[in-house]
Structures are given as structure tokens and as C-alpha cells.
Structure 1
Amino acid sequence: MKSYIVYTRVSTEDQGRSGLGLEAQQRDIRIFLTQFSDVPYEVIAEFQDVLSGADDGRPELTKALTLARKTGADLLVAKLDRLSRRVAFIATIMDDKRVNLRVASMPHADKFQLHIYAALAEQERDFISARTKAALQAAKARGVKLGGMRDAMMKRNVAVKANADRFAHSVAPIILSMRENNETLQGIADALNASGKPTPRGGQWTATAVKRVIARARDTAVASNVQ
């Protein structure tokens, strides 16, 4: 019989955000168990931490990992970022031969793909931070007084333009890596959506959107070679 140890993580902020609250995590785990798990199966234990995603000192996760090593049961989480938002932390767990990690929203992902998704998530957070700072600096340089509806719209427009110019370059290495491993365009789009990573405009990934990122990356490479 297939055995699972379920781990969930919530924070005060997450409770109000779609896809991150406890109810959403339980839904994703239920879908995985009923539609993607080997049968018969059993959930031998459930653990839950309530704290920030930036905090890796999680007592309940420690208990879950200890039990997984002892019993050989799979550690099951709803989304990869429920485990951690730090790629180094996730990589350490995946490198543990005594722990088999399963992610409900990515039921067919192997360890290589999970590592790619973790790296993509961390890269995206760094990019968003840099983009926000660049937008504010550009506005200040133009003498715009920050604050108010006009300034909010200006910052949004600057961010959108910066995103359009640089987002493809940011995610292209990850997408190209998955493509080189024979992942289909739709498969890449589904994986990005499942991992909660939006497009530059905050929408859902499609095969066409993935293809555009690949094409833009190749065009940029050609232009660089010409120069």
C-alpha cells in the first residue's frame, strides 16, 4: 500500500490569498490522491506549520521529514512553495535519498523538474524586486512625485514595459532547459501554471506564450551575435 505524509504551511497573509490558503492546499492534495496516486494508498500522518515562507525553521516540517525517513512514506505537499521559497532548502530535501517528495500540483514532475521550478520561483522573486526598484528610480529621475493614482499608474506602466523587455530573458534559460529535455510546449505551460508562476502580465501560461519566450530568446541571441 502506498503511504503518504501530508505537509501544509500557512501564514496569516496566505489565508487570504487564492491558491495558498489551507483549503486550497487540501483541495490540491485530495485531487492528487484520488486521481494520480497509486492505489490503494493511506495517509499515515499530517503536519502543518503556521509561519512565513522565508522561515525554514519549521518544527512540523522537521517532524514530517523525520517520519518520512523512518517509514519510507512519500512526503506530499500541495505546491512547491509550501515546502519553501528557497531553492537551496528545497534542493537539500530532494538530495536526501531517504525522502521521496511529491508535489500535488505537479503530479508527474521528477526531481530534475522540481529543481528547475524552484530555481525559476527564486529567480522570479529576485527579478520582481529589481524591477520594482528600477521603476521607482526611473520615476524619481523624471521628477515624478510618487504617490496618488497618477503615480500608481505610472509605476504600473513602467513595470509592464520593463517586464516585457526583460522577463523573457529572465525565464528563457529555465524554459529552454525543459525544452531540451523533450518537454512539450503545453507541458511547460502546464508546469508553470501548476507551480503558480504567472506570465509577465499576471495571466496563465499557454503553449503559445512559452513559444514566444523561446522565440524572443533566440532573436536576442541572434542580435547579440550580429553585434
Structure 2
Amino acid sequence: MITVHKKSVNTGSLPDSFCAHIGTKSAQSAAIRQGIADARKRGVEWGVFGKELAKRNRLEADAFAYATLPVLREIGFSGAFYKKDGTPRYLALARQLNALNVPTANGGKWYATTVRRVIDRLGPTFKDEILQMRLKTKCAEALEAEQKLKELLK
């Protein structure tokens, strides 16, 4: 008979060594919890390495995003990769990056989510830059079409 969560459980056919093992593990767990509580009282800071690792990962992700910026700029000015409202077509961009053999941060394939995360990391400045460049291109195309129309009407 052992007690689990204030209820008695009939151990019946379980060997005594198994029941002793459960009791030992429970005592070890309690000792670990008590040791952690004591360390916290002494002012030990938990999770420092995790915070440093997260900071390093963010910096590496930023560096990778900015390293891919020239390629994204080059292919980003093409209207084929953006919807009419200016939002990117992530899957089309991913396919183009894969076709150009541009490696991801881990050396794998590009997916729509990967592209979205890189563009999000670059921030609204990059998105605005692409949108402005597309507007300039469209304005230039419109002016050119207007000039051709004037020449035809002469």
C-alpha cells in the first residue's frame, strides 16, 4: 500500500523494491525542490544562460536578415512578388530564393514562413522601401505609356 496524492493505492503484485524506488524518487524530488528554494532565497539568479542564448540568437537572426537584404531588394522590386496592396507573396519569394540557391540561416530550403520572418525582422522600413520603389516604377511606366500615347496621337 502506497499513498499517491492523498489516496491509498493497492500495490498488490508490485515488488517491494519498486515501491521503495518510488519512495526514494519522491524524497529526491522533495530535496531538489527544497535546494532550489534555498538557492533562490540566497539570491541565485535562474535562467541567465537562457537569456544570454536568446539574445545571441536574436543577434544572429538580425545579422542573417540583413545579409539577405541585397538579394531581397534585387528580387523584391519585381511586381511579381507582391500583391496589389503591396503585401509580399511569401511563397513566390521563397521559390525564387530557392531557385537562386540562396541558403537559409541553417542551410536549408526557403519556405513562405521563413521569408515572412526575415522580412518581419527587417521591419517596416524595408517594406516601405519596396513599396516606394514599386510606386516609382509604376509612375515611370505610366509616364512612358503617356508619352507613347501622345506620340501616337500626333
User: With structure 1 as the length reference, what TM-score do the two structures score?
Assistant: 0.24
Larger Rg: 2
User: Which structure shows the bigger proportion of residues in helix conformation?
Assistant: 2
